A and B are shown apart, each in its own frame.
Chain A
């Protein structure tokens, strides 16, 4: 824009220059024309003057004065015309010359009149002399009075007159009188001749003196000089004009080409930009607003999606599409951001004209002018309503799945609890070997089913990211030794050799979730034992170095091919589908193991060759614990001792009531059963209990509510242990936060129940 103004100004100046030159040229030219015209008139005067001269010369040989009259008035008129022309030329200071010339012309014409008159008289007298002389020569009688002296005189006069050498004689003193006779008349005429000769000579001198040629030439000189100057001026201005015109052309052309070039580039850019804009308009919701937020532009997409016509939008603030769900703080932040010339990004819920809502991913960009100030705002939005919906649906689905798993595990575990519990009781009590074998099979199948359910739950938890690591300090070496001891019976049963090498570096307290580590290791070891034929060897090696716990489980088992090695970490994959049939297992173990390692930021790798065994290496980054807490690991004891006390069991499920009752009796505890939360609260108020086992899902009043009621009135701080199939991640936390003193999942792990009861009732 500024360039245009500059160019325009330049053009203006040039144009002015050209105009000024042209004007000056025209003026100079006109002035020159006037001068030339005046000069022409001057030559007319000279011509008339010369013509008059000619006529005067001729007048000696002619008696017609008309020509002289004509020439004289010609001179007069041409002089008038010339004076008139000269009056127009104010710049020329020739007034003196002109006045002198005019005066001379006037005088000249007066003299001319005298000349005509005198000359006529002269000729009249000469004519008389000529007549008488001729008659005397012819001897005519009427001329006889002329004597010889007179004849000589007459001859002298006539010759002198005709030759132009007439000489002045003694002045004659002859008075002209009335009735004079020829001799006297003749003398009178001679006298007149002399007299008028004198007069004519004076007139001739006067005519000579009134020659205006010198004045005319002087004026002509000045005129010519002036004309030359003007011509120079005209030439200069012409040159100037030409120069400016050329300059004008050059500048114009340069400007034009620059402009054309700039336009070409700009056109290219514009086209490119237009394509971007088109693409943007096709895909995005675009709007622009002035610095105060009033909409100045909306694209078609905006109208389509908002349901407003552009006429309804233009001039309005953007809050026309604001959804009441959007908190004001979002828009405050938006304004704060863009007013600071930064780009604002957010997903915003908007409202259509018909009240429907839609979601947009918004980008609001402040557009700055050349001065760096905000000119307008550009908002580009993409509709993400479908995505948001999909996300919400996905989240709902996830929630449903969690809930499903939670319910399923509860529903599966509750009957399994009964199956497992009673099978074990029957197995322990039965004396019949055949019956015991069958019962054992039931127990094992139930345990397998439970393991499968647990695995599925674990995997589900892991996959939904809800699996939490709960680090505690533990003594590595002691923990490993305890760990391997669980496999004693299994190893014997399978007939494989289980060796272990625990490095001295393990004699440290480490901070980590040992429970999960055990899950990983037992999975690997179980697998190794499972897939190793009798007489084979399973080796567990462990060491701790540089904050890294390394555990290797190697076997001499069937091994795996390379492509199997790639698949085994994926869920439900085993070496092949026949593996499951041959070796059992859920096929989830390695997958869970792998994901557990990853959650603990560790690594698991496998080395294996088909038929030559496999070697799994687990690397876990574990920090050394701050203080020794050897007590924590000293819990593990198999010693059984009878417990004392009365326990209130709140449980709605009859089967579970029986199972729990039988277990409590086994531990030497007395118990009462409450069928729901309300009954539990009532019973707790009526009798003194040392402990409460509280199921969560009960009719009439939930476990948590019942617990809270009891705690409200209880002064003895009777421990209340949650007993529930709600073992999903977060359940434990929820119970603890609610105020439960302990947590036992269903199906009830006998050992865990005993330990928990013992820890509370000993105190």
Chain B
């Protein structure tokens, strides 16, 4: 097998058409478990002092992320990285910026025991839930083993999986609704492709399916000490490689970048041009791209409307 597989024929651009797929309008999930997960998601008692719930940093209804650069944990502890949105997180190929959790369940363990987040222990959480008659009964009715760490994260993950935002204007466009995007937004989509943004931000989540080095073109000045994937693999070549974030609902999830350096969407696009794309652009082009990005905001997840 050789590098030959990248041999291409035909037009380069014409091939990009299937690079982004719309979010499915609904996915199958266990509603009872999701309901339990939802309750847990809002449960502050998961944290050590009973002040921090998942929803504190992943605001729902809303962006699924935090408006602040770094979220606050128990006792006012401050995080070291910008909270990624929980919306559509089920489509991500790994979780966390550095991909240290391979799926949502694995991710859910993290914040509970993270000293600057909930600062709790899974044992304590299990105890707390077992002592709560309602929780204990609900768990018993859904899981043979009742309250266990595995079942807790399973319920939360089931809820999070359901947090999809379908029917964004762009998705409607992709589904054939030509009027869903205006000229500028369409121009923005074209530029998104021709500038090469799409080489990293593709797939159903428009990102979230690969790692990429922040500062491929121009080295990125990190305000935090995060080294990305390297923190997981301790592999020199993985330094500054972060999970490419999803651009879904990007208009809602400011601030941007793992270190929250970009406050506005334009800031973020600028950072991308500077460090990743490595090309010059005009204001018109910038405006078009920003306009395009704003068409990526979808509907509020159905699961949130459920009781």
Contacts and interface: CB of A to CB of B under 8 A. Distances in A.
Given A69-B93, A128-B279, A57 B5 contact: yes
B8 interface: yes
Contacts of A125: 196, 278
B8 A176 contact: no
A116 B211 contact: yes
Contacts of A62: 15-16, 18-19
A448 B7 CA distance: 172
A110 B216 CA distance: 19
Contacts of A120: 199-200, 210, 212
Given A113-B211, A117-B212, A164 B18 contact: no
Contact of A66 (B6, B12, B204): B204
Contacts of A60: 5-8
Given A185-B278, A204-B2, A66 B217 contact: no
A102 to B, nearest CB: 16
A192 B21 CA distance: 29
Interface in B177-224: 194-196, 198-200, 202-204, 209-213, 216-219
B21 A64 contact: yes
Nearest to B2: A204
A163 interface: yes
Contacts of B276: 124
B198 A131 contact: no
A400 interface: no
Nearest to A196: B216
Given A60-B8, A161-B6, A192-B217, A185 B237 contact: no
Interface of A is mostly: helix
Interface string B82-115: 0000000000010000000000000000000000
A571 to B, nearest CB: 121
A114 B237 contact: yes
Size bin of chain B's contact surface: 35 or more
Contacts of B219: 176
Contacts of B217: 176, 188, 192
A65 B202 contact: yes
A207 B6 CA distance: 14
A121 B211 contact: no
A182 B273 CA distance: 13
A164 B7 CA distance: 5
Contacts of B20: 64
Contact of A185 (B1, B3, B279): B279
A127 interface: yes
A250 B45 CA distance: 76
A731 to B, nearest CB: 124
Given A65-B202, A69-B209, A181-B280, A117 B194 contact: no
A127 B278 contact: no
Interface residues of A, number: 49
Contacts of A188: 217, 278
B13 to A, nearest CB: 8
Nearest to A114: B237
A201 interface: yes
A347 interface: no
B218 A204 contact: no
Contacts of B195: 127-128
Contacts of A539: none
Contact of B202 (A56, A64, A113, A114): A64
B283 interface: no
Contacts of B274: 178
Nearest to A131: B194
B278 A176 contact: yes
A57 B8 CA distance: 10
A131 B19 CA distance: 19
B199 A124 contact: yes
Contacts of B5: 56-57, 59-60, 164
A63 B19 contact: yes
Given A62-B15, A162-B9, A127 B199 contact: yes
Contact of B209 (A65, A114, A176, A207): A65
A64 B93 CA distance: 13
Interface string A420-438: 0000000000000000000
Interface in A287-324: none
A207 B203 contact: no
Given A60-B6, A117-B241, A176-B278, A123 B210 contact: no
Contacts of A126: 12
Identify the interface centre among B5, B9, B233, B241: most chain A CB within 10 Å of its CB.
B5
A201 B5 CA distance: 11
A163 B5 CA distance: 10
B277 interface: yes
A763 interface: no
B269 to A, nearest CB: 15
Interface in A630-663: none
A135 to B, nearest CB: 11
Nearest to A54: B5
Nearest to A53: B1
Interface string A69-84: 1000100000000000
Contact of A204 (B3, B9, B216, B237): B3
Contacts of B216: 121, 124, 192
A182 B278 contact: no
Contact of B210 (A56, A113, A161, A178): A113
A124 B277 contact: yes
A115 to B, nearest CB: 9
Contacts of A63: 15-16, 19, 198-199, 202
A66 B2 contact: no
A391 to B, nearest CB: 100
A192 B275 CA distance: 13
Nearest to B8: A162
A164 B3 CA distance: 7
A627 to B, nearest CB: 133
A114 B241 CA distance: 10
A321 to B, nearest CB: 81
B184 to A, nearest CB: 20
Nearest to B237: A114
Contact of A163 (B1, B7, B15, B196): B7
A61 interface: yes
A88 B233 CA distance: 30
Contacts of B210: 65, 69, 113, 116-117, 120
A128 B216 CA distance: 14
Given A161-B6, A181-B280, A69 B211 contact: no
B148 to A, nearest CB: 22
Contacts of B233: 110
Contacts of B200: 120, 124
A130 interface: yes
Given A63-B198, A120-B212, A211-B1, 18 more contacts: A57-B5, A59-B6, A62-B16, A62-B18, A63-B16, A64-B19, A69-B203, A113-B210, A116-B211, A117-B213, A119-B199, A124-B199, A127-B196, A131-B194, A185-B278, A189-B278, A200-B3, A204-B3
21 contacts: A59-B5, A63-B202, A64-B19, A65-B203, A65-B210, A66-B204, A69-B210, A73-B93, A120-B199, A121-B199, A123-B196, A124-B216, A126-B12, A127-B12, A128-B195, A128-B196, A178-B274, A185-B280, A189-B278, A192-B216, A204-B2
Interface of B: 1-9, 12, 15-16, 18-21, 93, 194-196, 198-200, 202-204, 209-213, 216-219, 233, 237, 241, 274, 276-280
Interface of A: 53, 56-57, 59-66, 68-69, 73, 110, 113-114, 116-117, 119-121, 123-128, 130-131, 161-164, 176-178, 181-182, 185, 188-189, 192, 200-201, 204, 207-208, 211
- In the complex, the 9 A-B pairs of residues with the closest C-beta atoms, listed nearest first: A164-B7, A124-B196, A66-B203, A63-B19, A60-B6, A116-B210, A127-B196, A120-B199, A65-B209
